């Protein structure tokens, strides 16, 4: 798994069946009946992506992500590798050689214009502040 922001953490949760696993027809069940191990690579030294850097410390989403990551990290079939940049420290080819499947759950490095009416109106904030 590449990317330890919300998308990567939720994907790891579902793969490992942590804290309820995957919701299927009103009940919870692991995503797969096969043994799964998850190695999570993150460019930053710590997990949580923008939730850690871009959300107020007392925001419920930040607390939820922290609790969920902690539950995942306690699993013996999970390993976290922080401060590892794909393309610099590890190549895409190496990941393909080492793993049966690779999930890329990386966040956006910058905002992009959507090209829709009203995207620059007051009250339409960007996720990342300018400058």
Tell me if 64 is assigned to some domain. Answer: yes
**What CATH number has the domain bearing residue 39?**
3.40.50.720
**E-only strand ranges, 34-123:** 38-41, 78-81
24: part of which helix (H) or strand (E)?
strand 22-24
Owning domain of residue 43: 6-98
Output the six-digit token pair for 118. Answer: 């009203």
Span 83-121, pLDDT tens digits: 999 999 999 999 999 999 999 998 776 677 778 888 888
Span 52-66, pLDDT tens digits: 555 555 556 667 778
**Least confident residue range of 25-34, 99-108, 118-127:** 25-34
pTM over 0.75: no
**Least confident residue range of 16-20, 24-28, 36-40:** 24-28
Tell me if 117 is assigned to some domain. Answer: no
Domain count for the chain, please give it: 1
């Amino acid at each position: 798994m590449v990317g330890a922001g919300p998308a990567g953490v939720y994907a790891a949760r579902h793969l490992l069946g942590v804290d309820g696993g995957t919701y299927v027809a009103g009940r919870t069940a692991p995503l797969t009946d096969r043994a799964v191990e998850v190695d999570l690579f993150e460019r930053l030294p710590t997990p949580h992506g923008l939730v850690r850097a871009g959300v107020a410390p007392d925001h419920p989403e930040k607390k939820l992500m922290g609790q969920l990551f902690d539950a995942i990290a306690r699993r013996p079939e999970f390993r976290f590798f922080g401060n590892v940049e794909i393309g610099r420290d590890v190549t895409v080819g190496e990941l393909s050689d080492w793993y049966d499947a690779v999930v890329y759950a990386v966040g956006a490095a910058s905002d992009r214009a959507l090209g829709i009416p009203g995207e620059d109106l007051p009250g339409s904030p960007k996720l990342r502040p300018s400058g």
